[in-house]
Amino acid sequence: MSGNFNITRAARAIVRVTDLNAARDFYVNGLGFIETESDDTFIYLRGLEERGHHSYVLKKADQPGVEVISYKVTTEEDLDNLADKLMEKGMQPKWFEKGSQRALDRSFRVQDVSGIPVEFFCTMDTVERMLQRYDQYKGSKMQRIDHFNCMVPDVEKAYDFYIKELGYACSEYTATKDEDIWAAWLHRKPTVHDVAFMNGKGPRLHHVGFWLNDPMSIIDTCDVLASLGYGDNIERGPGRHGLSNAFFLYLRDPDGNRVELYTGDYFTGDSDFEPIRWDLDDPQRATFWGHKAPDSWFNEAMEFVDSNTGERITVEDAKLDQRKPNFIV
Ligand code: DHY
């Protein structure tokens, strides 16, 4: 509980794609998402473990971009209390009534301190949990949504807001020699993160992270993607992060939207947990084995779109030095 509301976890993202069938082939045949439902504009996807109607929405559009990232709160009352709190802070939550979005009860959206369009809801329709439908396992054997990673120009501003106002806790962070926070991993559920903020041009969504059962599922994904002709969509990894300890793989979908396949982080729920500090220049921070990430991983990210106006949300340059961490002079 944080004040009089409780945010449970990262819950869904709405991502724009230019070709629904191309996106479906990548996400359903390649990654093994379950397609709960679709129409001419939307494909609603979920992992095998998820009983919510969807955790990832593909929306047909002329250009790629991200409409919103969403968090689930614990009770309907939490939703009202959180909206009140954000209004006290001078923000303007915009409510969406039950039925106005597929499978969602009421929700609200607001731009956070970094300008990121975030949404909060409590109730989503439930569907069959496919965890033990092993006959349906294919591709990555996709299990569930895990986190968002956002690039923002001012990480400390985002950090302060999520920790002090929204009740998130920090599991790990990267600091410069001057103790400026370069990146921070923040959670509500007791894992390494529900959201990470990295220093960079923003706000932009760097990736949505999805949980798989084990490293072998990640290696199988590479084989399956290569067999389907998606070898070039593998951007970084497989590897082991130093920060978070997770085994990872970064992929770009046919529109360039980035997802991380992620497994093997750890429990962070003790009240005396102490955040782990990494030096920006530590070569094992990003990849424990010391491998370098490609330039595209640092430079490219998804822009947010204002769903009211259809305009792209203005992006600002990073406040801190934009040099690449971990393989600097
Ligand atoms: C890192 C990035 C992530 C993550 C954990 C750790 C660090 C890095 O690669 O720079 O996306 O989930």
Question: Regarding beta strands 302-303 and 204-211, do their DSSP bridges make them parallel or antiparallel, or are they unpaired?
Answer: antiparallel
Handedness of CA 223, 224, 227, 233 (dihedral sign): negative
C-alpha–C-alpha distance, residues 28 and 38, integer Å: 12
Measured from the CB, is residue 236 less than 6 Å from ligand 1? no
DSSP 48: T
Output the CA 262–ligand 1 centroid distance in Å. 10
Burial class (CB in 10 A: 0-12, 13-18, 19+), 25: middle
Please answer whether residues 155 and 199 qualify as being in contact, where contact means their C-beta atoms are separated by less than 8 angstroms.
yes
Region 7-121: CATH code = 3.10.180.10
Which amino acid would we find at residue 96? F
Output the CA 310–ligand 1 centroid distance in Å. 30
Distances (CA, A) of 311 to 228, 303, 306: 35, 10, 5
Output the CA 55–ligand 1 centroid distance in Å. 21
Give the pLDDT of residue 329.
29
List average pLDDT for each run of 10 residues in the chain, which is 329 residues long. Answer: 87 98 98 98 98 98 97 98 97 97 98 98 98 98 98 97 98 94 97 98 98 98 98 98 98 98 98 96 91 93 91 93 55
Candidate from 147, 151, 244, 251 with most ligand 1 atoms within 8 A of CB, to mutate: 244
C-alpha–C-alpha distance, residues 319 and 57, integer Å: 32
In ligand 1, the atom with minimum distance to the C-alpha of 147 is: 12
Q: Where are the alpha helices (DSSP H) in 231-325?
A: 283-286, 295-299
C-alpha–C-alpha distance, residues 125 and 143, integer Å: 18
SS3 84: helix
Q: At 114, list the tokens.
A: 């970094």
C-alpha–C-alpha distance, residues 175 and 196, integer Å: 14
CA dihedral 243, 213, 56, 192 (to 10 degrees): -30
Domain ranges of the chain: 7-121, 142-303
In the numeric block, the tokens 């782990």 are attached to 276
Q: Which of 11, 135, 28 has its CA nearest to residue 73?
A: 11
Q: Which CATH number fits domain 142-303: 3.10.180.10, 1.10.600.10, 3.30.300.30, 1.10.150.20?
A: 3.10.180.10
C-alpha–C-alpha distance, residues 265 and 171, integer Å: 11
In ligand 1, the atom with minimum distance to the C-alpha of 193 is: 12
C-alpha–C-alpha distance, residues 326 and 329, integer Å: 9
Distances (CA, A) of 190 to 82, 186, 228, 265: 20, 10, 36, 10
Measured from the CB, is residue 191 less than 6 Å from ligand 1? no
Measured from the CB, is residue 260 less than 6 Å from ligand 1? yes
Give the pLDDT of residue 327.
46
Same fold, 7-121 and 142-303: yes
Question: Regarding beta strands 117-121 and 65-73, do their DSSP bridges make them parallel or antiparallel, or are they unpaired?
Answer: parallel
Please answer whether residues 239 and 291 qualify as being in contact, where contact means their C-beta atoms are separated by less than 8 angstroms.
yes
Q: At 158, list the tokens.
A: 């985002």
Which amino acid would we find at residue 41? T
| Residue located nearest, by CA, to atom 11 of ligand 1 | 149
